[in-house]
Amino acid sequence: MSIQILPGAHVDVKAGDRPAELSVTGVVAMPLSLSWGDRMTVIRQGDSTKVSLGYDLISEKLKCVNEVMNGAEKLYLYRLNNSGGKASGTLADGITATAKYPGVRGNDLSVVVAKSGDLWKITTLLETAEMDSQIVSGSDKFQTNDFISIAGTGTLAAATVKLTGGKDGDMDSDAWDKFKDEMETHEFNVLAYTGTDADTVNNLILWVDELRKKDIMVQIAENPAAADNPAVYHSTSPGTTENYSLTAAEACATVAGLIAKQGVSGSLTRYSSITGWTDAEHLTREQQEARVQNGELLIVMIYGAPTVLYDINSLVTYTETQPKDFRKGLVMRTLDKYAADLKKLLDTKCVGKIRNSTEGRAQIKALVVQMTAENYQNNGYIENFTADDVTIVKGSESDAVAADVSVQPVDTVDKISVEVVSLAE
């Protein structure tokens, strides 16, 4: 309340209720062994990776990262190998320069020490590119930069020193457990596994299933396992781009990026705008049919362009709880996104804020109907939705309600039958 002293009109502007934020879209998580970088690096569209990962995004060293970022809005990149050796070099007696991160990329660093009047100019080079330059009175005045630190005491001398001894190292023994623990603190949509180890991917699929049971609706793109699972894209096609080739396992990064890009907005069936790709598998119709029936997501050449053949996941066994339409990628992405949005709506707008009364439950229903209509029906992601499709009833405990929502996802037209009739003259 404000107290008005002088006569005249007075207007207070206050923030009213805001629509509930929806769940994240376009976000990929990917674990990789790297040659530079921190344990966790977050990359967004347009970010340079020269400093954070040591290489330009389009370099072959970062091809899986580049493939994800051709589609995703954001990537959580987790480094699996953090126990390698850091490159180092002696600048002068008692003074050592050490790379910021372990990995062989540190061996491409050089430090140039040159006299600058009464001071010293210390320049950090990555290959031949200058990454940092400082003028200091002594080594103790050097400020650690994005690539090196300098330690020790002594007198600087003019020198050019190439760092050596950097090693990538093996994957940390507890890397997968740490990766899963870390990722459970972030919101993401798709996990990209670009390896070939069957035990590892099966463990990751189990983890994805566990997350989904906790209402964390993520999916995985992987190559080794024919999982028969609607949350698993079994991607089996290699490819060739303008800058590098991709194995079928590496191309799972491409698929994860495409899934993140399309989300609920469209299907990947016959999607041919795959950034940078110049060649893909050349398969006969019979080969395509056999592999689709096996639950494989394929990228093949169609009309001269690398094209996603059919937007399907790995589900091939259909039941009442997992019917045939659950194998369609767009259908499952829509259901997953809706489930995540519904959970976030209830968590942020209802839990602890609305009383469990008849009026309160009507208020919850109104919020659900509004979110569903505005964000799904009006955008054409679902159809035939009415308020009658939402039921909110009191639960078995005084602070509990049960919500039941029925939605009908709208798939794309993926199959067209055409009959051509030849007319007599």
Element (H, E) at 157: none
The span from the CA of 97 to the CA of 91, in Å, is 7
**What is the tally of helices (H) and strands (E) in the chain?**
7, 21
| CA geometry: angle 145, 150, 156, nearest 5 deg | 120
Confidence at residue 113, expressed as pLDDT on a 0 to 100 scale: 98
Confidence at residue 14, expressed as pLDDT on a 0 to 100 scale: 43
Among candidate residues 353, 332, 263, 259, the one with its CA nearest the CA of residue 20: 353
Residue with tokens 């991160």: 101
Confidence at residue 309, expressed as pLDDT on a 0 to 100 scale: 97
The span from the CA of 221 to the CA of 254, in Å, is 9
Collapse the DSSP code of 111 into the 3-class scheme (helix H, G, I; strand E, B; otherwise coil) and give the result: strand
Can you point out the beta strands (E) in 197-331?
219-222, 232-235, 239-241, 245-246, 277-279, 296-297, 299-302, 305-308
**CATH architecture for segment(s) 88-162:** Sandwich (2.60)
Confidence at residue 413, expressed as pLDDT on a 0 to 100 scale: 66
Amino acid of residue 105: R
All residues at 6 or more sequence positions from 147 whose CB lies less than 8 Å from its CB, including other chains: 51, 99, 100, 109, 124, 126, 131, 132
> Which tokens belong to 407?
């939605």
Confidence at residue 412, expressed as pLDDT on a 0 to 100 scale: 76
Confidence at residue 16, expressed as pLDDT on a 0 to 100 scale: 45
Residues of the chain within CATH 2.60.40.4290 domain(s) are 88-162
Residues of the chain within CATH 3.30.1490.450 domain(s) are 27-81+171-308
Strand partners, 110: 125, 162
> Are residues 302 and 268 in contact, defined by beta-carbon separation less than 8 angstroms?
no
Confidence at residue 399, expressed as pLDDT on a 0 to 100 scale: 85
Confidence at residue 417, expressed as pLDDT on a 0 to 100 scale: 59
What CATH code is assigned to 27-81+171-308?
3.30.1490.450
Can you point out the beta strands (E) in 196-295?
219-222, 232-235, 239-241, 245-246, 277-279
Rounded to the nearest 10°, the torsion over CA 407, 186, 329, 285 is: 180
User: The whole model's pTM is what?
Assistant: 0.90
Positions in the chain short of pLDDT 50: 1-2, 4, 8, 10-18
All residues at 6 or more sequence positions from 50 whose CB lies less than 8 Å from its CB, including other chains: 56, 126
